[in-house]
């Protein structure tokens, strides 16, 4: 009797596995060519003179003299020095960039600091800390060719004399130093 129950259980279990849609858990880029797959990192990451296609990091990131040809997704604090990110940046944490070139930046953060850095546009997303103002610091010759948008509506952009914002500020104020 135990043998028959075991066989029935095994058959039922194997049929239920074949009915399970395991492919829904595969990331959308998994079946594409390797240039679309992100390099995935956990924990502190530090790279110097690196060239990457796409990058997703869970933890602190430091990039120096590096290039990301695609997107950057960062879940943690980041430091970019002399780094170019050609694709969009999605950030969940504080970012400090120096002497760098950034494309479109979308950040759920309270603070973003650029020093001698060019970016296309910056969108600061709502982060749940509505009482704390979100701030973007533009130091040196930093230039934003598009707009800086604060979705939360209480943003502040602190701008040094040589920094420029071509597209204006939405949802925040500008404070010149």
Sheet holding 45-48, edge to edge: 45-48, 61-64, 78-81, 95-98, 111-115, 135-139, 155-159, 172-176
Q: Chunked in runs of 10, what are the mean pLDDT values of the chain (177 residues)?
A: 56 44 44 60 92 93 96 95 97 96 95 97 84 90 97 94 96 93
Question: Is 13 a domain residue?
Answer: no
* CA 121 from centre of chain: 14
Q: Which domain holds residue 134?
A: 32-176
In a domain, 27, yes or no: no
Tokens found for residue 8: 């029935």
What is the pLDDT at residue 35? Answer: 54
As given in the structure block, the two tokens for residue 156 are 């502040």
Instruction: Tell me if 6 is assigned to some domain.
Output: no
Any domain includes 88: yes
Q: How far apart are the first and last CA of the chain?
A: 84
42 inside domain: yes
Q: Specify if 116 maps to a domain.
A: yes
Domain count, the chain: 1
């Amino acid at each position: 009797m135990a043998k028959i129950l075991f066989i029935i259980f095994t058959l039922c279990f194997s049929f239920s596995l074949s009915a399970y849609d395991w492919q829904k858990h595969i990331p959308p880029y998994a079946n594409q060519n390797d240039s679309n797959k992100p390099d995935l990192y956990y924990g502190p990451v530090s790279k110097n003179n690196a060239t990457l296609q796409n990058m997703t990091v869970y933890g602190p990131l430091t990039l120096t003299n590096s290039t990301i040809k695609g997107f950057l997704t960062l879940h943690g604090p980041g430091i970019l020095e002399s780094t170019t990110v050609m694709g969009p940046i999605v950030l969940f944490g504080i970012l400090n960039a120096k002497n760098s070139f950034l494309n479109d930046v979308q950040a759920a953060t309270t603070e973003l600091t650029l020093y001698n850095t060019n970016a296309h546009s910056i969108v600061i997303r709502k982060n749940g800390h509505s009482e704390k103002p979100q701030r973007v610091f533009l130091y040196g010759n930093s230039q934003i060719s598009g707009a800086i948008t604060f979705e939360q509506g209480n943003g502040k952009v602190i701008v040094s004399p040589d920094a420029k914002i071509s597209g204006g500020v939405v949802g925040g104020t500008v404070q010149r130093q």
